[in-house]
Structure 1
C-alpha cells in the first residue's frame, strides 16, 4: 500500500468506532445495566466505523470495498484469526475435561491456609497463563476465594486483588492468550520472543506482589485443611502447551496437539465421545466468534484508514513529542492504555494500536519483540484496573454486593508494580539480556 498524505479525515472512522463503543457503554452504565460496556458487540461498533469510511472517503465504492477486503484478508489477520479459533477450541475442550478445576484443586490441596492469599495469586497466575484467559481464570477462582474469605475472616478486597493480579499476569504472559496473539501478529514476531521480552518485567513484579500478599494476606481465623479432588492427568494438556510453546514449536502444532491430548483424556474418562469432542471444539470456535470478527473487520478498517492518511496523521502528531527510543516506547504504552480505558478490552486496544505501534517502532528503531511486549503489558495494566472491565465486573459480581471495585483498587499491587517495572525497563533496559539471545524472526511459532 502506497504511503498516504497525512489527513485527519482519514482517522474519523476509527474515532466513530471508539465513540460508538464507549458511548454505548457509558449509556448502559448510567442506566445501571450489568456488564454495561459489553452490551454492544464490538464487531457492530467496527461496522459503524466501516460504513462511515464509505461515506467519508473519496474513492469509488468498488475501490473502497477492494481496500476493505484486502485489509481483512491480510495474511497476519488471517493467521491471527485461525490461532484464535484453535486457542478457543483448546480452552473449551480442556475445561470440559475438568482441567481448570483440577489445577485449582491441586494448588489448594498443598497451600497452607495461612498463606492462602499468596497461594490464590499463584494459582490464578498459573491458570491464566496455561489457559490464556483472564476472564476464565476469574470465573474459576473467584468463587473459591470468596468462600475462603468468609470462612477465615480474610480481607475480601485483598483476596479479590490477588485473583485479579493473577488473572492479568497470565493474560500478559500466556503464549495462547488473545492478548499475545494480537500483539505478536501485529508486530510480526514470535510468541516465544514476546514472552521472553516481558518475563523480566512481569516476574519481579509478581515476586514482590507474592511477598506483599504473603505478609498482609494472612487470615484471622485458621480453618482445618479441606480435601480437594484433582486428577494430575487432566493438568497435563496445560503443561504440554506451555512447555512445547517455549521449545519453539509452531503455534498451530502446539494448539492442535493440545486439543487432541485433551480430547484423548476426555474420551478415556468418558467425558465425551468422538462426536462430543467435535462439538466441544466447535463450542470453542464459537466462543472466539466476537474476537474473530473484530480482528477481521478491524484489519479492513485499518486498511481504509491507512490509505486515507489517518495513520500517517497520528504518526506526524506523535512524532512531535518523540525525541528518541525511550519516549517512543512511552508513547506506544500510553496510546494502547488510553485506548483500553476507552473500549474496556485489551485485545481490541492492541488490534487498534498495533499497526500504529509498528510504524513508530520502525521509524525509531525499536525491536519489534519489545513493542509486542509493551502492547501486551500496558494494555493488561489498564484492563486490570478499570472498574468497568469484564474481569473486574465478573469478580465483583461474585461477591453479591460485599465489595466494590474501588475497595479492590488500592490492593492491585501486581498491576501497580508491573507499571513501575515497565517504566524502569524503558529507562534501565535490563530486558535486553533476553532479547539478545534470540535472533529476530518474522514467522510466528
Structure 2
C-alpha cells in the first residue's frame, strides 16, 4: 500500500493526549470538555490533510464528515434521543422500573437489566440505540435499589454490546461477514460459542453484587403497563425485522399516543420533548462528525495502512495469525472509535492473513467482530459510553462506568483464551 506514514496518525495522537492528560493531572476527566480535544484534533487534521490550498484540505476533511456511515449514525442518534425523551416524558422509564421492582426479586434486577439490554440490541442491531433507551431505566433502577448508578449503566452497556456483536442486522455483523466471505449465519454460530461464557459469567456477577434494600413493594396499575407499550412495540417491531429508523419512529409516535391518552402530553409538549431529545444528542453528533473528518484525513494520509501493515507483516504462525486479527481490529478501533469502520478498514488485510494461515472465514469474522465490540464497549470516548454519560446528566464520568463493564472486559479475555486453547480449523 502506498503513502503509509506514522505522521498521518498525528491528529489522533493529539486527541488522545489532549483528552487523557488533563484528566490524569487534575483527577477530573470533565475538566476539559470533550469537544475541545476533538476540535483541536480536527484543526490539526485539516492542516495535515493533502492538498496545496486550504480549500482542498478542508474538502478532504468534510468528505469524511459526510460519510454515509457517519450520517447514518447521527440520524440514529437523533431518533433515539427523541424516543428516549418522549418515553421519559410520559413516565415510561418510571413505569418500567416499577414493574421490574414489582415482579423481579431484588437480587436479579441487575441481571434482568443486562438480559433486557441483550434482547433489545439483538433485535434492533444497534448498541447505541439500546444504550440511549436503557440508560434512563438503569439510572432509575439504581436509585430505587440504592446502588451505584455506574453498575446499572455498565450492565446496560454490556448487554448492548452483546447484541451489537451478534445481531443479524448489526452493521458489524454484516461488515465482518462480507469482508471475510462467509454467511452471517455461520458467523453467528461461531460467534455465539465465543461469547456465551462471558455473558453467563456477567449474569452471575450481577446476581452476586449487593444491592441495597427496598422499603416498600412497588405497586403496579394498568397505566404502568400502558406506559411501557412503546418499549414493547419497539422490541416486537425489531424482531419482525423492521428497519431501525422505522422502529424508532414507531416508538416515538406510540409514546406520544400513550402520553395523549393518559394526559401526560399535549401536542406542544410532545413536540417539545421530541426536540429536547434530539438536542440532547447534539454533542455526540458533533463528536461523530469530527471523528469522521479526522479518520478520513488519517486514512488518506496512509495512517490506517501504516497500522494495518505493521501488525499484519509480523504474523508468523496460525495461532499468531488469530492474535494478529484480534489485535489489528482492536487497534484500528481505538484509533477510529467506531467498530464498524474498524472492521471495514482492517477486513481486507484480515482476510489475507486468514487465507495465508487457513483460518475459516467464520472464525476470522467472529474474532474481528468480538474484538471490535470489546474495544468499542470499553472506550471512554466511544459513542456508547458517551451516550450513557450524556443521558446521566453529568452524574457519571466515562471512568465511573468503565469500572463496571464486566461483559466487554470478559469478551476480551474470552478472545485470548479461545485462541490459546483452540487449534484453528482448516478450510
* Aligned partner of 2:327 among 331, 339, 344: 331
Find out whether 1:49 has 2:46 as its counterpart: no
- The total of aligned residue pairs comes to 389
Match of 2:306 in 1: 313
Match of 2:371 among 351, 371, 374: 374
Give the drift of 1:272: 1.6
1:200 deviates by 5.2
* Preserved CA contact (<8 Å) 1:336 1:353: yes
CA distance in 2 between partners of 1:73 and 1:90 (Å)? 24
Q: Could you say which residue in structure 2 is the equivalent of 1:66?
A: 59
| CA distance, structure 2, for counterparts of residue 147 and residue 222 of structure 1 | 7
Displacement of 1:334 after TM fit? Answer: 4.1
- How do 1:133-144 and structure 2 match up within 5 A? 134=131, 137=134, 140-142=137-139, 144=141
What are structure 1's unaligned runs of at least 5 residues?
150-155, 340-346, 433-445
Residues 251-294 of structure 1: per-residue CA shift (max 9 Å, x gap): 22111112111111112222222232222221121122122122
Question: 1:355 Cα shift?
Answer: 5.3
User: Does 1:232 pair with 2:228?
Assistant: no
Shift of 1:383: 5.5
Tell me which residue corresponds to 1:342: none
C-alpha spacing 1:8/1:210, structure 2 compared with 1 (3 Å): closer
2:165 matches 1:163: no
2:75 aligns with: 82
Alignment of 1:87-106 (within 5 A): 87-106=80-99
Partner Cα distance (1:426, 1:95) in 2: 44
Match of 2:110 in 1: 120
Cα deviation per residue 1:339-367 (whole Å; 9 max; x = unaligned)? 6xxxxxxx946488455434544544556
- What's the offset of the Cα at 1:331? 0.5
CA distance in 2, matches of 1:147, 1:313: 50
* Distance in 2 of aligned mates of 1:418 and 1:382: 14
Question: TM-score with structure 1 length normalisation?
Answer: 0.70
Following the alignment from structure 1 to structure 2, what is the Cα–Cα distance between the partners of residues 98 and 389? 24
CA distance in 1, matches of 2:189, 2:232: 18
1:306 counterpart SS class: helix
Deviations 1:402-438 (A, max 9, x none): xx969x95x8654554444344555689xx9xxxxxx
For the 8 Å contact 1:328–1:360, the answer to whether it is kept is no
Match of 2:33 among 34, 40, 57: 40
In 2, Cα distance between equivalents of 1:304 and 1:337: 16
Shift in CA distance, 132/53, structure 1 to aligned 2, threshold 3 Å: closer
Contact 1:337/1:382 (8 A) holds in 2: no
8 Å CA contact 1:392–1:405 kept in 2: the answer is no
Give the Cα separation in 2 of the matches to 1:26 and 1:186. Answer: 36
Q: Please give the alpha-carbon distance, in whole angstroms, between the structure 2 residues aligned to 1:246 and 1:200.
A: 22
Kindly indicate whether residue 239 of structure 2 is the aligned counterpart of residue 242 of structure 1: no
Deviation at 1:207, TM superposition (A): 3.0
Superposition pairs for residues 24-423 of structure 1, below 5 Å? 24-27=22-25, 30=26, 32-33=27-28, 36-37=29-30, 39-42=32-35, 44-57=36-49, 59-60=51-52, 61-112=54-105, 116-123=106-113, 125-126=115-116, 130=120, 132=129, 134=131, 137=134, 140-142=137-139, 144-145=141-142, 148=145, 163-173=152-162, 201-214=194-207, 217=210, 225-227=217-219, 231-323=224-316, 326-332=322-328, 334-335=330-331, 348=337, 350=339, 353=342, 356-364=345-353, 370=366, 371-381=368-378, 414-423=407-416
1:93 CA displacement: 1.4
Unaligned runs of 5+ in 2: 121-127, 179-183, 355-360
CA distance in 1: counterparts of 2:65 and 2:71, whole angstroms: 8
Q: Quote how far apart the aligned CAs of 1:77 are.
A: 1.9
| Cα shift at 1:6 | 0.6
**Alpha-carbon distance change, 54 to 148 in structure 1, aligned in 2, over 3 angstroms:** closer
CA offsets per residue over residues 280-313 of structure 1, 9 Å max, x none? 2211211221221222222222221111111111
- Using the alignment, how far apart are the partners of 2:108 and 2:33 within structure 1? 36
- Alpha carbons of structure 1 residues 428 and 293: separation in structure 2 relative to 1, 3 Å: farther
Asked whether the equivalents of residues 11 and 44 of structure 2 are also in contact (C-alpha less than 8 Å), the reply is yes
Deviations 1:6-42 (A, max 9, x none): 1122121221122222223334xx2x54xx2474233
Does the CA contact (< 8 Å) of 2:337 and 2:376 recur in 1? no
Contact 2:333 2:342 in 1 (8 A): no
